[in-house]
């Protein structure tokens, strides 16, 4: 059963503030304070895909719990939330949870795409990162998105079990909803 | 047996009520559907120093548009909004821009600067309570809500079919090329003529509206 979703609480942490200021200034995200991980930023990739190609990639994730973060550099709440996704990735990677980000920046805006790549590097987002190459309005429609940030969480059988969005003003998701959803799905896995 | 039947009846009525509540949402709106009444509001501060209440709106048609200064999709379509207001000048139509985000760059001081810089030719108010946005289910900026003389919702969604954003280099990118379907303009024209609005709802596109949690 989907979790009850609650209104968004923007967590204005000092880190988020630094990141937002950096993006707003179009400064190099790679200059961001290093995230709490020792992995090399060189391992960070942003792979351009069409929505159809993304769906194929998504289908390949079946068999594992998959957390998909839809984001863009123009979406400030997305930028504010992203460090939490990276934190969850490190917390749950060993438990077999896959994290993926799908960037919805304007693919024709070279500065925006470069900024997205630098941001991911600054975050040490060493999971799979995709950039949708279709125009953003069409991409939203094909992905059935009204707004971002949005986090889609798939069970190991490939079913979309948690569609966490800000689509309802009275029921916007929070970071704790993401954690609770992952925890619930992990609790459903058979004990080995 | 009678008690059991009564319980079943109560459950059935409850489900019907719940069902009708869900059905009140639009195709792309979690809260309202076409035909919903315009929420009342009072004394919202505007960028020109005045305040605005729903009772002040005497025009036949009211267009509420949710905006956010920081949002590249608002910046990309500001000129289209200003042009539409200009185009409809002389008609009994009132445009009201509404900002509800609590970010500093979406609050009144920044709104004043943004309105001035972009030639806003309509009333631009700040709703700190966010009540107007919540009651209309507004979740993106820009997002339009058009009300007729009866103050019932006649259209909601995009201004036109090619959402535009302002790129980092300052240019505006229309995602689907030159717009060809002008939903707000068509809705106003239909309402003015007493006709049915041709397209009553579209999928709005833009930045998320950030609502405060009850405990936030």
pLDDT in tens, A15-24: 444 344 444 3
Q: Is B12 within a domain?
A: no
Chain B contact for A112, CB < 8 A? yes
Quick check: is B122 in a domain?
yes
Is A113 a member of any domain? yes
Please state the domain count of chain B: 1
B10 assigned to some structural domain = no
**Which token pair is B151?**
């103050």
Kindly determine whether residue B203 and residue A10, on different chains, have CB atoms separated by under 8 Å: no
Strand, coil or helix: A7: coil
User: Does residue B109 belong to any structural domain of this protein?
Assistant: yes
Distance CA B198, CA B182 (A): 11
CA distance B156 to B149: 16
Q: How many residues does chain B have?
A: 216
Please give the residue of chain A at the shortest CA–CA distance from B215.
Answer: A9
Residues of the domain holding A100? 14-188
B39 phi and psi, to 5 degrees?
Answer: -65, 145
Q: What is the CATH number of the domain that holds A109?
A: 3.40.30.10
* Residue B164, strand partner residues: B174
Classify residue A2: in a domain, yes or no. no
Of B31, B70, B162, the CB nearest to A76: B70
Q: Output the pLDDT for position B215.
A: 59
Structural domain includes residue B163? yes
Across A175-184, average pLDDT: 96
- For the domain that residue B76 is a member of, what is the CATH number? 3.40.30.10
Q: Which of A111, A138, A146 sits opposite B140 (nearest CB)?
A: A146
> Does A99 reside within a domain?
yes
A6: nearest CA partner in chain B: B213
The per-residue pLDDT of chain A, averaged, comes to 83
Beta strands at A65-71 and A97-103: parallel, antiparallel or unpaired: parallel
- In-domain check, residue A60: yes
Q: Say whether B175 and A141 touch across the interface (CB within 8 A).
A: no
Residue B52 is part of which domain span? Answer: 32-208
A115 in contact with B at a CB cutoff of 8 Å?
Answer: yes
B174 touches chain A (CB under 8 A): no
Residue A1 belongs to a domain: no
Report yes or no on A24 lying in a domain. yes
The Cα–Cα gap between A161 and B63 comes to: 37
More reliable by pLDDT, B6 or A5: B6
Residue B4 domain-assigned (yes or no): no
Residues forming a β-bridge with A47: A130
| A7 assigned to some structural domain | no
Residue B213 inside a domain? The answer is no
CB A157: neighbour CB atoms within 10 A?
10
A136–B175: do the CB atoms touch at under 8 Å?
A: yes
Domain total in chain A: 1
What are the tens digits of pLDDT across the range B48-98? 999 999 999 999 999 999 999 999 999 999 999 999 999 999 999 999 999
From chain A, pick out residues whose CB is under 8 angstroms from the CB of B71.
74
User: CA-to-CA distance for B115 and B67, rounded, in angstroms?
Assistant: 11
Question: How confident is the model at residue B2, as a pLDDT?
Answer: 52
Reported ipTM: the value is 0.84
Q: What is the rounded CA–CA span in Å between residue A9 and residue A155?
A: 26
CB A85 within 8 A of CB A37: no
Residue B2 lies in a domain: no
Q: How many Cβ pairs closer than 8 A exist between chain A and B?
A: 101
Q: Does any domain span residue A149? A: yes
């Amino acid at each position: 059963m989907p979790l009850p979703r609650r209104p968004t609480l923007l967590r204005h942490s000092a880190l988020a503030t630094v990141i937002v200021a950096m993006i707003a200034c179009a400064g190099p995200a790679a200059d961001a304070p290093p995230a709490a991980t020792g992995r090399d930023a060189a391992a960070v990739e942003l792979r351009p895909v069409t929505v159809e190609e993304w769906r194929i990639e998504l289908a390949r994730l079946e068999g594992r719990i998959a957390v998909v973060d839809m984001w863009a550099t123009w979406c400030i709440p997305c930028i504010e939330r992203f460090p939490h996704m990276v934190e969850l990735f490190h917390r749950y990677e060993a438990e077999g949870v896959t994290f993926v980000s799908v960037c919805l920046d304007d693919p024709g805006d070279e500065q925006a795409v470069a900024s997205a790549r630098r941001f991911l590097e600054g975050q040490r987002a060493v999971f799979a990162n995709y950039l949708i190459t279709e125009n953003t309005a069409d991409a939203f429609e094909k992905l059935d998105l009204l707004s971002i940030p949005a986090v889609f969480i798939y069970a190991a059988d490939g079913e979309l079990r948690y569609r966490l969005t800000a689509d309802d003003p009275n029921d916007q998701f929070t970071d704790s909803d993401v954690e609770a959803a992952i925890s619930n799905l992990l609790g459903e896995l058979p004990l080995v | 047996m009678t008690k059991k039947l009564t319980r079943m009846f109560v459950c059935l009525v409850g489900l019907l009520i719940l069902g009708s509540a869900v059905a009140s949402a639009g195709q792309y709106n979690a809260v309202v559907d076409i035909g919903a009444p315009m929420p009342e509001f009072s004394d919202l501060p505007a960028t020109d120093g005045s305040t605005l209440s729903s009772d002040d709106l005497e025009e036949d048609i009211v267009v509420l548009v949710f905006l956010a200064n920081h949002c590249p999709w608002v910046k990309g379509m500001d000129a289209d909004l200003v042009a539409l207001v200009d185009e409809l000048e002389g008609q009994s139509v009132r445009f009201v821009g509404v900002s509800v985000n609590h970010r500093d760059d979406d609050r009144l001081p920044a709104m004043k600067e943004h309105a001035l810089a972009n030639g806003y030719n309509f009333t631009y108010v700040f709703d700190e309570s966010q009540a107007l946005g919540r009651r209309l289910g507004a979740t993106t900026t820009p997002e339009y809500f058009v009300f007729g003389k009866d103050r019932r919702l006649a259209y909601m969604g995009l201004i036109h079919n090619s959402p535009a954003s302002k790129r980092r280099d300052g240019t505006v990118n229309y995602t689907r090329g030159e717009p060809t379907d002008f939903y707000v303009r068509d809705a106003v024209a239909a309402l003015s003529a007493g006709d049915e609005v041709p397209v009553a709802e579209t999928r709005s596109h833009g930045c998320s509206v950030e609502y405060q949690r009850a405990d936030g």
